[in-house]
Structure 1
């Protein structure tokens, strides 16, 4: 019967609420991107929808409330200025040319033609009276009414001659006077007064009818001169300036909105037209899409591992959006723009991800802040310079004095930015300048304090591996490290060596060295449940695997330190990112020693389930976990083989690296060949210092023996033969006196034929006591952890 192999698990930081299915994870990322774009769009367009003074009004609307001027402002009223200019233009009289006598002659000649034609009609005997009337109605040059045409046909020749002569006299008389276009109608209306009184009313009407249509202007308009005069009058009008004091009524509530009101609201920045609102929303949407695309490209190129760390990714997104929305709420107030702690975002991101990511986020936030502040370059400079310099100045986030130093740096940067933009103002107000300087100083100090408090709260609430949390976990007094030291001292020493290796490699590569070091300290904590089954904790050659005589069970015990470590990590509330290292530091490698032994004992290879000898994985998903895998293997195997020189160490590490590459363990870690070679070089140099050859002094030491001192086993060295290799000796775990002893449970126990490990509990701390076992067959690289 074989132990059931632990269920293979995925990385903890990759386990979102969608149960880790690929399609659901992709949907989660898409949803996150949509939330990012929508929230950013609303924040950027907030000024279009806010009720803080922006009014959407049109001419004819009733003002919903009193609208006051936000500050003392003046503007040139185009409406009033245009009205005054129009009045000036209209007041200019038209300019005319002198009367033209030729026009009078032309009109007299036309009248003579009309009279001659009428003579022909009167004399034509072939025409009936009806035909004659039609001919008179169709003269064309003049129009005669029936009341005027009938008397012409009925009067005798003498009367007609007198009437036609009088018509010519009247027309000549009125055409001698200046007649403008505007005077034509009045002149025609006055023709009756020009007819001699010797004519009766009927004949006078005929005279008027003959001359009326031939009256026309003889003094024409000089359009060029008129336009010049009007332009001169318009140019003389000064622009109309309207001024408002702060708090003065612009529009009173309940009154009807006029065009002049709309102009004033627009000039004072209190009006948002429908077109402008639509433009602002479009601007916000385009800026949000561009920002999302930039973030996506940056993460893909520079931080691809963040795509799989859902919780951290969502936290970063949330912090960024909170910063943007917060600024959007303050951007309408000029003073608040100088007090807003722009650098908080950068300082938080330094503690959560790193300086490079913090600088990228700061630049993006600064650009968006400038857009929200009506394209204010000064706001962009405040946010950009402060955030970037603050991120570069924060070297380590584990000490309070570093935040104080960064606060002073930020204060100085803000003051410099304020001075730069203040010097570009024509009329520099000393009071305003001093106030802005004080705002800049307070801004820097407040940003540093807010970042420190924010990082602490994030650590406390989200259990994220921030620098504060990592410092706390790296302390030797940590309860879990104390337990590892007491119950599995060999594993503890191994973890220290691995932490040193991994930290140096991560630092050289630009990875998160602080995270790697702390994770290395805890990567093997699962061994505290069965410490004696791991070679680094075995004393006097005692190896419990020799009593099992079952490679399946031995492999299960070895592999179980991974899920056991995860359970302990959960119990002690280690961050999920640290627990990823526990699962990934062996990847999906095999316990090769016991697999080989199982194959040799089986009648055929088909009887051996290779999965029972395979770690649950997953393979390393980041550079940091891949570094830990290589450091763990390198330290344990080099220690086991005891190389004599640097060349042998280099050969061993090269074999380890090539083996991991060939097995595909590094395929998902984003490590490059250059990174791997750099890791190998660092490991060789460091392990050479740890396992350097020592001088074998001639003397009397022949063997090692132990003797008890104060109830604690200690090691006393006797003489050894010359050139004998030193042995690693670890103290046996003693049962504290007066502690309560209990047998381990079936879940933790080795098989029934193995003497059970006895657990003791003292002061709430569990320890294990290893029974006496027979001599081992030899050290095994694959059980050293």
Structure 2
């Protein structure tokens, strides 16, 4: 029992080691199934194994005419367009020209200063001029430079600057520097002597440098623009045309054609496979994480985990077989069946997450086809969300209607704007949508019955069948133990109303209360409910034997429930409604006869349990005890009933009988109020008529020798 005053449906529960182990196994199995479905072709195909450069051992022809966009031809056309774009250079850089003219003046000024250096010897002048950076001069040129007269040197200086400036004005590429330097001699004035022309040439050539540079970015942009202007090139293959001849080497073009015809079996790409498995692991972790955080009971019950794994695996395999590579089959894939089954058998929120899980796998299979993913999820989600509690078969039929209408809307949303589907295509898709809805409903209905029986689940329809008074066990209870039958009816009303009040499963609670005491039909006369003639069979038995008979009604009820194949959830009400309580009346009687309490083995007088494990069985324990206590005490006011109910519920809580169920203190307050309202309507004071004063006491006024006759309300509540 939880000691909180706030009812929190989504509060986090402590995850048991069993749940963790099953979560790991479920995740591992789902990852293997999902990864296999996403990477491996499940059915054999007519695809062949070939690679570029391999020798073909058979002749392959086109099965039908097909036109497709050839990536190879398109790339060739784009390369040709790219090659037509010449390299782009920036215009002559004036800054480079100015820099080289400045360099020319600097070199000439340096030579002029050396020529007029009166302190330098001729050898020293030769050394100075040979060391000019960037302008290498031969010894011959240096000698002629030093030998020129001032007038001739002045002409050389002017002519050198003019030639360098003139040539640097034009565009000079890096590859054109040598050619441009050869033009120096043609630009020198013929008025100069040969010696002057030689000096001008030697000084000018090194100063001619590239001033126009390659613009890689602009060139790439222009070439990319030229590529983009090329339209995709289509290739048409005629029916019967030979794609690969026998004994010929397989070309890239042949591989492309085979790929477009889907005749080529794709080779296993380990990097892609690893990526696919990682994707599968990611979505599986999300699902398992949700189960650990919000749906721990599903993991704790092995059959529920197995059911979830079975449904997900079946629909993963079905998606692989029906969705990729087909035209109409994807529109027949009944994904809504899985959503409705998980919603009705397990949980609605889990159903939505499971649909999204399958939707992610479909998106991977279809390379992100928004139409197919929306088509698969749209109707499935709407049908699942609208399903609610299944109380009649028409609920499934309405789910099929939602699937059909939603899928038709999805088709119209995606197909009408494109206007690519003709009338025949619309008829085929519409028929597929209607058939999809019918198949989804049929499979969901069949699965609901079959899986409910196979996995021992208390489905709504199954519980409604058990709630019918014509069920053989209830008929036996009415005929053999009528008092117990009426007690069960009253307790079922109390339990149902309390369950509705706190958000528990009201239908399961009601049905469980119907069958919780069916074991009393084995020996009905040993229970005070059925002792109409006032004869007490326990008067001739010792206390331990009487206690064993009383306690045995739990085991007898369980045997009957198994014989008639009642769901385990209903059988839990039989085994848990008494918890581990003591049959106190016979225990105290045994103690009195023994004289000392230590001489009596209390375990012989205690129910085997277990204690209530769910809210529903906990409510039944309280209702069973409260009804017995109120009936035994005969209260005359609502306040007395309220006090009796409080004493009984407090006693059960203090005894630890509610420690293993999820009832909170706030739940107990609401349950007490509901019990008081129900019992007040049954055990209210009545007006005494004159004939009532002469009426003989009934059997119900006698002590409850079923298990106790103590005067306290708590003892009176401890009935089998």
TM score, norm. by length of structure 2: 0.71
* Contact 1:81-1:239 at 8 Å conserved across structures: no
Corresponding position of 2:533: 540
- SS of match in other structure, 2:232: strand
- Among 617, 624, 636, the alignment partner of 2:628 is 636
Q: Does structure 2 conserve the Cα–Cα contact (< 8 Å) formed by 1:535 and 1:784?
A: no
Matching of residue 296 in structure 1 with residue 292 in structure 2: yes
Question: Could you tell me which residue of structure 2 aligns to residue 368 of structure 1?
Answer: 357
2:48 equivalent in structure 1: none
Alpha-carbon distance in structure 2 between the residues aligned to 1:217 and 1:52: 75
Matched ranges for 1:557-706 at <5 A: 557-692=549-684
**Counterpart position of 2:455:** 462
Q: 1:506 aligns with which of 470, 483, 499?
A: 499
1:29 equivalenced with 2:19 (yes/no): yes
Per the alignment, in what secondary structure is the counterpart of residue 665 of structure 1?
coil
Q: CA RMSD in A?
A: 5.7
Checking the alignment, whether the CA contact within 8 Å between 2:54 and 2:250 is kept in structure 1 is yes
Secondary structure in 1 matching 2:661: coil
Structure 1 Cα separation of the partners of residues 142 and 371 of structure 2: 92
Q: CA deviation at 1:677?
A: 2.9
Q: How far off its partner does 1:662 sit?
A: 2.2
* 213-222 or 496-505, which deviates more: 213-222
Asked whether the equivalents of residues 303 and 455 of structure 2 are also in contact (C-alpha less than 8 Å), the reply is: no
**Distance (whole Å) between structure 1 residues aligned to residue 310 and residue 587 of structure 2:** 48
1:409 aligns with 2:402: yes
Comparing both structures, which one devotes a greater share of its residues to helix? 2
Q: What does residue 694 of structure 2 align with?
A: 722
Q: How far apart in 2 are the matches of 1:777 and 1:43?
A: 56
The alignment partner of 1:241 has SS state of: coil
Q: Give the length in aligned residue pairs.
A: 655
> Deviation of residue 676 (structure 1)?
2.3
Taking the aligned partners of 2:502 and 2:596, their CA distance within structure 1 comes to 46
Q: Is the 8 A contact 1:586 1:615 kept in 2?
A: yes
The answer as to 2:302 corresponding to 1:310 is yes
Task: Quote the Cα distance in structure 2 between the aligned partners of 1:777 and 1:590.
Answer: 9
Q: Which ranges of structure 1 fall in alignment gaps of 5 or more residues?
A: 1-22, 54-59, 159-163, 195-203, 700-719, 730-774
Q: Are the structure 2 counterparts of residues 401 and 71 from structure 1 closer, same or farther at C-alpha, using a change threshold of 3 Å? A: farther
Q: Distance in 1 between matches of 2:72 and 2:109?
A: 62
Cα distance in 2 for residues equivalent to 1:638 and 1:412: 55
Cα distance, 1:612 vs. partner?
1.8
Is residue 352 of structure 2 the alignment partner of residue 352 of structure 1? no
> Following TM superposition, by how much is the alpha carbon of 1:678 offset from its aligned partner in structure 2, in angstroms?
2.7
* Residue correspondence of structure 1 range 482-501 to structure 2 within 5 A: 482-501=475-494
| Alignment partner of 1:240 out of 208, 214, 230 | 230
| Superposition deviation, residue 472 in structure 1 | 3.7
- 2:281 aligned with 1:285, yes or no? yes
Tell me the TM-score normalized by structure 1: 0.66
Secondary structure of 2:626's counterpart equals helix
Which deviates the most, 482-491 or 96-105?
96-105
In the aligned structure 1, how far is the partner of 2:681 from the partner of 2:34?
57
Report the Cα offset of residue 621 of structure 1. 0.8
Please, which moves more after superposition, 655-664 or 630-639?
Answer: 630-639
- Deviations along 1:242-261, whole A, 9 cap, x unmatched? 25679999x98944699999
* Pair 418,630 (structure 1): closer, same or farther in 2 beyond 3 Å: farther
Q: Return closer, same or farther for 1:578/1:210 CA change in 2, 3 Å cut-off.
A: same
Asked whether the equivalents of residues 133 and 150 of structure 1 are also in contact (C-alpha less than 8 Å), the reply is no
Distance 1:44 1:64 in 2: 36
Tell me: CA distance 1:421–1:105, structure 2 relative to 1, closer, same or farther (3 Å): closer
Q: Residue 547 of structure 2: which of 517, 533, 555 is its match?
A: 555
Larger Rg: 1
Give the SS at the match of 2:292: helix
C-alpha distance in structure 2 between counterparts of 1:539 and 1:64, whole Å? 97
Aligned to 2:608, the other structure's residue is in SS state coil
Q: Is the 8 A contact 1:535 1:779 kept in 2?
A: no
Q: Do the aligned residues in 1 keep the contact of 2:463 with 2:508 (CA within 8 Å)?
A: yes
Are the structure 2 counterparts of residues 384 and 186 from structure 1 closer, same or farther at C-alpha, using a change threshold of 3 Å? closer
CA distance in 1, matches of 2:304, 2:673: 32
Change in CA separation of 1:326 and 1:113 when aligned onto 2, cut-off 3 Å: same
The whole-number CA distance in structure 2 between the counterparts of 1:282 and 1:667 is 43
Secondary structure of 1:463's match?
A: coil
Residue 447 of structure 1 and its aligned partner are, at CA, apart by 1.7
Q: Which residue of 1 aligns with 2:190?
A: none
Compared CA separation, residues 124 and 408, structure 1 to 2 (3 A): closer
- Further displaced range: 491-500 or 589-598: 491-500
Instruction: Give the 3-state SS of the residue equivalent to 1:586 in structure 2.
Output: coil
For residues 421-450 of structure 1, give each alpha carbon's deviation from its aligned partner in whole angstroms, at most 9, with x where no partner exists: 556x45564556665544443333322211
The separation in 1 between residues aligned to 2:177 and 2:214, in whole angstroms, is 22
1:203-246 residue CA offsets vs partner (Å, 9 max, x unmatched): x9xx9999578535758544599987996687566533325679
- Measure the CA separation in 2 of the matches of 1:283 and 1:637: 60
Residue 517 of structure 1 corresponds to: 510
Name the CA distance, whole Å, in 1 between partners of 2:679 and 2:98.
Answer: 122
| 8 A contact 1:414–1:440 mirrored in 2 | yes
Aligned partners of 1:342 and 1:382 also within 8 Å: no
Question: Would the aligned equivalents of 2:37 and 2:317 in 1 still touch at CA under 8 Å?
Answer: no
